[in-house]
C-alpha cells in the first residue's frame, strides 16, 4: 500500500510536511497554501489514507472503543449498539464489537483482545447481567469501563441506566388505571439489578394504600428466556384465579405472555392486558400492538460514549440515570 513517503516524494516535500497537511492535530502547524495544495493533490492521486495503526502508536491513542454485548440476537441490544455506534462515530471513534453470549470465558478473551488493541474505553451493554467476577475482570483490565445498565454491585464502576423502578411503576400504574385488579409481574432473572429494579417498581405501584385490598399482585419469576415466560404464564392462567393484567419485564417476555394468553383461549387486552419493556421495533406491529416502556437507546449510547471519553481523558465521570417513557398501545386498551 501507499505510505506517507510516497506522497512526500510525489509532492516534493518531506514526510513531516505531509503529516502536517493531512493530519493537523489539535495545534495545527503552519503550512504554506500551495505546498498544502500540492500535498493534498498527491494524496488524492495516490488515494492515500494515513495508517491509523502508525498514528495510534505515536499519539498513543487508538481511536477505538470496545462494545461488549451479551447477545446480539436479543432485539434490545442492537438498539443500544446502534446508539453507541452513532455516538462513537461522531466523536471519531471506531467500535469493536464483542458478543459474549453471557459467558465469562468469552468476556475474558474479549477483555484481553480489547486491551491488546489499546481501546480507549469499553462500553458494556447489559451491564446489569454481570456477576461479581465479571465486574472485577473489567475493573482489573485497567481500561475505562462504562456500563449500560446498572449491576447489583457496581463497586464504583460508571454506568448509564434508565430509571427502571420509576418506569416499571408507571407501567404497572397504567394497568391499575385501566381497571385491572389481579396484576402479575413477569420478571426476568432478578439477580440482574435491572430486573430487580423493575420488580421493585411493580411492587411500589401495587402497594398504593388507597387501592390496597382491591388489588392482588403476583410475581412470576423467570430466567428471562421467552420459553420460560410462556410456560410460567400458561401455568398461571390454567390454575387460576387468573391474572387480568401482566407487566412483563421485557418485550420478549411480553410477547411470550401474549402467546400464552392466546393459547389459553383468552384475549389480549380483554381478558388479560399486557405491557412490556424495551419497546423493540416490532412492538407497534404486533396484534394487538404491544404497550411497552421505551428506552432512549440512542441517548443511552451517547451518554455512555461521553462518559467513556471523559474517563479516557483521565477525568472523573458521573453515572447517569435517564428517564424512560411508557408507550400505550392496544394491548392495554381499556
Nearer to a second copy (CB atom), residue 119 or residue 324 = 119
- What is the DSSP-derived secondary structure letter of residue 30? P
> Looking at 154-162, 185-193, 283-291, 308-316, which segment touches a second copy (CB under 8 A)?
283-291
d(Cα 129, Cα 151) in Å, to the nearest integer?
7
Q: H-type helices in 145-276, by residue range?
A: 164-177, 193-206, 226-239, 251-263
> Looking at 76-84, 155-163, 183-191, 203-211, which segment touches a second copy (CB under 8 A)?
76-84
Q: Minimum distance between the CB of residue 47 and DNA, rounded to whole angstroms?
A: 12
* Interacting partner of 16 out of a second copy, DNA, none (Cβ under 5 to 8 A depending on kind): DNA
Contact criterion met (CB below 8 Å) for 20 and 28: yes
Q: H-type helices in the chain, by residue range?
A: 4-11, 15-22, 33-46, 52-59, 76-90, 104-116, 132-140, 164-177, 193-206, 226-239, 251-263, 297-312
Half-sphere exposure of 27 (CA within 13 A, CB side): 0
Contact criterion met (CB below 8 Å) for 92 and 59: no
Binding letters toward a second copy, positions 164-203, x by CB under 8 A: ----------------------------------------
Nearer to a second copy (CB atom), residue 12 or residue 281 = 281
Chosen residue from 37, 41, 45, 51 binding DNA by CB under 7 A: 51
3-state helix, strand, coil in the chain (%, to 5): 45, 15, 35
Binding letters toward a second copy, positions 27-66, x by CB under 8 A: --------------------x-xxxxxx-xx----x----
- What is the DSSP-derived secondary structure letter of residue 282? T
Count of residues making up the chain:
334
Binding letters toward DNA, positions 3-32, x by CB under 7 A: xxx------xxxxxxxxx-xx-x-x-xxxx
Chosen residue from 37, 41, 54, 238 binding DNA by CB under 7 A: 54
Q: Is the peptide bond before 241 cis (omega within 30 degrees of 0)?
A: yes
Chosen residue from 5, 16, 73, 238 binding a second copy by CB under 8 A: 73
Binding flag, residue 290, DNA (CB under 7 A): no
Q: Is the peptide bond before 115 cis (omega within 30 degrees of 0)?
A: no
- What is the DSSP-derived secondary structure letter of residue 152? S
Chosen residue from 10, 42, 48, 190 binding DNA by CB under 7 A: 48
Binding flag, residue 60, DNA (CB under 7 A): yes
Contact criterion met (CB below 8 Å) for 271 and 328: no
Binding flag, residue 102, a second copy (CB under 8 A): no
Nearer to a second copy (CB atom), residue 169 or residue 228 = 228
Contact criterion met (CB below 8 Å) for 21 and 36: yes
Q: Strands of 182-187's sheet, edge to edge?
A: 216-221, 182-187, 245-248, 273-278, 291-294, 325-327
Contact criterion met (CB below 8 Å) for 281 and 254: no
Chosen residue from 31, 40, 78, 166 binding a second copy by CB under 8 A: 78
Joined grid coordinates for residue 36: 498544502
Residues at the site binding a second copy, with contacts judged by CB under 8 A: 1, 47, 49-54, 56-57, 62, 67, 72-75, 77-79, 81-82, 85-86, 89, 94-99, 109, 112-113, 115-118, 140, 142, 226, 230, 252, 255-256, 258-259, 262-263, 281-282, 285-287, 289
Residues at the site binding DNA, with contacts judged by CB under 7 A: 1, 3-5, 12-20, 22-23, 25, 27, 29-32, 35-36, 48, 50-51, 54-55, 57-60
Amino acid at each position: 500500500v501507499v505510505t506517507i513517503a510516497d506522497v512526500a516524494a510525489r509532492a516534493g516535500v518531506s514526510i513531516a510536511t505531509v503529516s502536517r497537511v493531512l493530519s493537523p492535530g489539535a495545534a495545527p502547524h503552519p503550512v504554506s497554501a500551495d505546498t498544502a495544495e500540492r500535498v493534498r493533490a498527491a494524496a488524492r492521486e495516490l488515494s492515500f489514507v494515513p495508517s491509523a495503526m502508525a498514528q495510534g502508536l505515536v499519539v498513543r491513542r487508538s481511536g477505538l472503543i470496545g462494545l461488549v454485548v451479551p447477545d446480539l440476537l436479543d432485539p434490545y441490544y442492537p438498539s443500544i449498539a446502534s446508539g453507541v455506534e452513532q455516538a462513537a462515530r461522531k466523536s471519531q471513534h471506531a467500535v469493536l464489537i464483542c458478543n459474549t453470549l453471557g459467558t465469562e470465558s468469552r468476556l475474558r478473551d474479549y477483555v484481553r483482545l480489547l486491551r491488546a488493541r489499546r481501546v480507549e474505553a469499553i462500553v458494556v451493554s447489559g451491564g446489569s447481567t454481570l456477576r461479581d467476577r465479571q465486574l472485577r475482570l473489567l475493573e482489573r483490565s485497567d481500561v475505562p469501563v462504562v456500563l449500560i445498565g446498572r449491576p447489583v454491585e457496581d463497586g464504583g464502576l460508571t454506568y448509564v441506566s434508565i430509571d427502571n423502578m420509576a418506569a416499571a411503576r408507571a407501567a404497572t400504574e397504567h394497568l391499575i388505571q385501566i381497571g385491572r385488579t389481579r396484576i402479575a409481574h413477569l420478571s426476568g432473572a432478578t439477580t440482574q439489578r435491572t430486573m430487580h429494579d423493575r420488580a421493585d417498581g411493580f411492587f411500589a405501584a401495587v402497594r398504593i394504600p388507597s387501592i390496597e385490598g382491591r388489588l392482588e399482585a403476583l410475581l412470576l419469576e423467570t430466567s428471562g428466556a421467552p420459553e420460560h415466560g410462556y410456560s410460567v404464564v400458561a401455568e398461571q392462567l390454567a390454575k387460576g384465579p387468573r391474572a387480568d393484567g401482566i407487566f412483563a419485564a421485557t418485550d420478549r417476555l411480553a410477547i411470550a405472555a401474549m402467546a400464552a394468553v392466546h393459547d389459553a383461549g383468552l384475549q389480549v387486552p380483554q381478558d388479560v392486558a399486557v405491557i412490556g419493556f424495551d419497546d423493540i421495533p416490532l412492538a407497534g406491529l404486533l396484534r394487538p400492538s404491544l404497550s411497552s416502556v421505551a428506552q432512549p437507546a440512542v441517548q443511552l449510547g451517547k451518554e455512555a460514549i461521553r462518559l467513556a471519553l471523559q474517563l479516557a481523558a483521565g477525568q472523573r465521570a458521573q453515572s447517569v440515570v435517564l428517564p424512560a417513557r411508557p408507550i400505550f398501545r392496544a394491548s392495554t386498551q381499556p
